[in-house]
Structure 1
Amino acid sequence: MKIWLFTMCSAVFLLTGCNQEKELTEVSLAEVTRSIFYAPQYVAISEGFFEEEGLDVELTTTWGGDTTMTTLLSDGADIALVGAETSMYVFAQGANDPAINFAQLTQTDGTFLVSREPVEDFQWEDLKGTTFLGQRQGGMPQMVGEYVLKQNGIEPHEDLELIQNIDFGNIPSAFASGTGDFVQLFEPQATLFEEEGIGHIVDSFGTQSGEIPYTVYMAKQSFLEKDTETIEKFTRALYRAQQWIQQEDAVTVAESIEPFFDETSLDVIEQVYIRYRDQGSYATSPLLNEDAWYHLQAIMDEAGELPMDIDYDDLVNREVAEKIINE
């Protein structure tokens, strides 16, 4: 009888222990769009890094900065992946519970300059007198685009015909149908256009504009204060993924994130990943650099879109990232 009771108790203990090990904390994550630009995030999911931290990350694509921020502020998501500028807009409106940036994913702009015709020895002054199909007015890609043009001695509204009234999703089709001599495009569209002979990548807005906190993870201040442990676990898994993509070969990375891009071939995923990796778009750690924060504000100010000067410490929590990096 004693042996039977011991066996039963042992079995109950083992089952309970197993169940406890399988219990994961659910974290809802809203991403602004689906992009190979966010490769480390998908690696953290596919390679099980979040799960190993005890997190069950439920990923939703919310398509657009405004929608993503609304989702976060209305408690539709615990964490949002979106441009850092959105947190500035919310803060400037006097939010009682502002969105705080706690980890960086990408550190450059993700767009490329694509020409309709092949251009040998491209120079930015080649754009003068041409028709340039840019990004939507007020968006971060447009702000970076105009900043880069000005840095290269081009006045966007005087030296070329600038088109900015086409919706983001329709820009590629507009260029493919004949609008514009040059266009500002995200990947993988730029690479696909090259493969199809529609356009030719001649330069990168990311390398031209310098380091900025282009895409970051943010959470409401109340969530950060209430659930710091979850934020730390999330950041630890992200940091592991950021290191992983720098160590693994391109084919391995492409295969890891392929399930998130059903309509993109493995070969294109690999090419796009290499392009972003080689130009330093993927942040190698979650720490958001203070100089990059103010550089972003300078770009926004140049475009007339900066609502107010905002101190780095007001909207950036660096303590979590520093703790994870120093572990």
Structure 2
Amino acid sequence: MKKVSFLLIALVVAAVGFFSGCSPAKEPKKMETIRIAEVTRSIFYAPQYVAIEKGFFKEEGITIDLKTTWGGDKTMTNLLSNSADVALVGSETSIYVEAQGAKDRVINFAQLTQTDGTFLVARKKPDYFSWEQLKGSTFLGQRKGGMPQMAGEFTLKKHGIDPHKDVKLIQNIDFANISSAYASGTGDYVQLFEPQASLFEQEGIGHIVASFGKESGKLPYTTFMAKESYMKKHNETLERFTKAIYKGQLFVDTHSAEEIAKIIAPYFDDTSEELMATVVERYKSQNSFATNPLLDEEEWNNLQTIMKNAGELPQKVDYSTLVNKDLATKAMK
């Protein structure tokens, strides 16, 4: 009887082993989609495009749906109306939302750039440049209340220029139309992002004479942010998202401008790889690309100093209120 029992057990064990061996392999993890609204399309955001093109998001089980929303107000509208899950925009926008008493706070969780990304372009190439030359000129600036404009005003004041008295300041042109307005003859000077600044220099329309990024110091110029409710529901997904961004940042930091230009070329159809490499190198040389996603408190405070200096800080907001550093800290381990 015992022999029969042992035989039955042996048969059962063998059968279990057989069917286990024949069971289908585990299905691959389902990809999750994150919709990003980026404030503009710029080589300034190279680490993001590298993370997409090199498959760093895919490695983390994430598919990216990227759209350009052209302006901080439009980008934030997309986020608040749930047309986007994550916004890539200046941190000042989260402070504006907080000041309006939003019940669902907008939280900064991963920093992409750590300086201003604009350059001062002059109509005529000077033999030498000094900020004094702007006095009495027409200056085509960025949108009032936006980080580019505030960094611009901060820089002018730093050099003893009152932007509302010493120059004729134009701020009423839509963000997407500033470059075309300058190309058509408006303004002696203009504040531009890349690659437009270098394109103008290449075409003889203007000449880069100074960097607002070098002048205004480190700050959370462009960060990834999401609504607090979304972060609570998708915390683990956003941690993987932040890991992918960190991989992109490390790649940009450790590879040549030429290599990076080749990778991000699909995002800039009208720009040569040679010009893109020039722009990437310019940003790398002034440490504009953040080398990790952690937004630190010193940068946050510098941001509010610049906003206050421009008369655009509606209220001071503590670092811990609108910055989640946990995702970046975990992603960097």
Match of 1:20, SS state, is coil
Structure-2 separation of matches of 1:205 and 1:49: 31
**Corresponding residue for residue 246 of structure 1:** 253
Structure 2 residue corresponding to 1:223, chosen from 230, 248, 267 = 230
Structure-1 separation of matches of 2:248 and 2:174: 33
Runs (4 or more) in structure 1 with deviation over 4 Å come to: 5-12
**Corresponding residue for residue 11 of structure 2:** none
Give the C-alpha shift of residue 7 in structure 1. Answer: 8.8
Show structure 1 runs of 5+ residues with no match. none
**Structure 2 counterpart of 1:324, one-letter code:** A
Match of 1:150, SS state, is helix
Structure-1 separation of matches of 2:22 and 2:276: 47
**Corresponding residue for residue 127 of structure 1:** 134
Match of 2:24, SS state, is helix
Say if 2:21 is the partner of 1:13.
no
Say if 2:55 is the partner of 1:48.
yes
**Corresponding residue for residue 172 of structure 2:** 165
Structure-1 separation of matches of 2:259 and 2:108: 30
Say if 2:36 is the partner of 1:25.
no
Correspondence list, 1:69-148, <5 A: 69-148=76-155
Give the C-alpha shift of residue 145 in structure 1. Answer: 0.9
Shifted more, 196-205 versus 134-143: the winner is 134-143
Structure-2 separation of matches of 1:245 and 1:133: 31
TM-score by length of 2: 0.91
Structure-2 separation of matches of 1:150 and 1:109: 16
Structure-1 separation of matches of 2:223 and 2:263: 21
**Corresponding residue for residue 8 of structure 2:** none
**Corresponding residue for residue 3 of structure 2:** none
Structure-2 separation of matches of 1:6 and 1:255: 51
Give the C-alpha shift of residue 43 in structure 1. Answer: 0.5
Structure-2 separation of matches of 1:321 and 1:247: 19
User: Deviation per CA, 1:108-132, whole angstroms, max 9, x where unpaired?
Assistant: 1111011111112211111112222
User: Deviation per CA, 1:129-176, whole angstroms, max 9, x where unpaired?
Assistant: 222222222222111111100001111122222222222222222222
Say if 2:292 is the partner of 1:324.
no
Match of 2:121, SS state, is strand
Shifted more, 238-247 versus 121-130: the winner is 121-130
Structure-1 separation of matches of 2:175 and 2:200: 16
**Structure 1 counterpart of 2:175, one-letter code:** F
Structure-2 separation of matches of 1:121 and 1:250: 28
Shifted more, 232-241 versus 297-306: the winner is 297-306
2:71/2:175 contact within 8 Å kept? no
2:121/2:189 contact within 8 Å kept? yes
Give the C-alpha shift of residue 181 in structure 1. Answer: 1.8
Say if 2:156 is the partner of 1:149.
yes
**Corresponding residue for residue 275 of structure 2:** 268
Structure-2 separation of matches of 1:7 and 1:191: 66
Give the C-alpha shift of residue 30 in structure 1. Answer: 1.5
**Corresponding residue for residue 196 of structure 2:** 189
Q: Return the index of the structure with the highest Cα Rg.
A: 2
User: Deviation per CA, 1:259-318, whole angstroms, max 9, x where unpaired?
Assistant: 111222211211111111111110011000211111111111111111101000000001
**Structure 1 counterpart of 2:65, one-letter code:** E
Give the C-alpha shift of residue 10 in structure 1. Answer: 5.3
Match of 2:316, SS state, is coil
**Corresponding residue for residue 259 of structure 1:** 266
How large is the Cα RMSD of the aligned pairs?
2.0
**Structure 2 counterpart of 1:195, one-letter code:** Q
Structure 2 residue corresponding to 1:294, chosen from 281, 298, 301 = 301
Match of 1:296, SS state, is helix
**Structure 1 counterpart of 2:316, one-letter code:** D
- Structure 1 84/197 Cα, relative in aligned 2: closer, same or farther at 3 Å? same
TM-score by length of 1: 0.93
Structure-2 separation of matches of 1:220 and 1:163: 33
Match of 1:126, SS state, is helix
Structure-2 separation of matches of 1:169 and 1:54: 33
Kindly, what percent of the aligned residue pairs are identical? 58
Structure-2 separation of matches of 1:241 and 1:99: 24
2:62/2:241 contact within 8 Å kept? yes
Match of 1:217, SS state, is strand
Structure-2 separation of matches of 1:262 and 1:177: 23
2:79/2:86 contact within 8 Å kept? yes
Give the C-alpha shift of residue 11 in structure 1. Answer: 6.2
